[in-house]
Amino acid sequence: MQQHVVKRQGHKERFDERKVYASCYAACLSSHVPHREAEKICEKVSRGVKTWIAAKPAVTADQLFKEVTRQIAKHHKDAAFMYRTHRDVS
């Protein structure tokens, strides 16, 4: 089953775990996490989010954002903070 993310403007797009990984990786690097550690963290986060979303036909972008933040926080609090606050400055 292909999961969808309902974006803020109301349109849907397919869930792309590469976007989760990339945003997690950027947050880790912004927190000065070494590359190898960032890769390991983001692999775990991507797996966790993929498992979380698997049973859902669709989630909102906000629900996905909160779950990614929660998953990152399990592994690195500073990176989770950077991920969470990135939307405020971008």
Return per-residue pLDDT of the chain as tens, 90 residues: 567 888 888 888 899 999 999 999 999 999 999 999 999 999 999 999 999 999 888 899 999 999 999 999 999 999 999 999 986 544
Domains contained in the chain, number: 1
Looking at residue 89, its pLDDT comes to 46
Q: Which pTM does this prediction carry?
A: 0.88
Whole-angstrom distance, CA of residue 24 vs CA of residue 20: 6
Looking at residue 68, its pLDDT comes to 97
CB 59 within 8 A of CB 53: yes
At 58, give phi and psi (nearest 5°).
-160, 150
What range does the domain containing 41 cover? 4-89
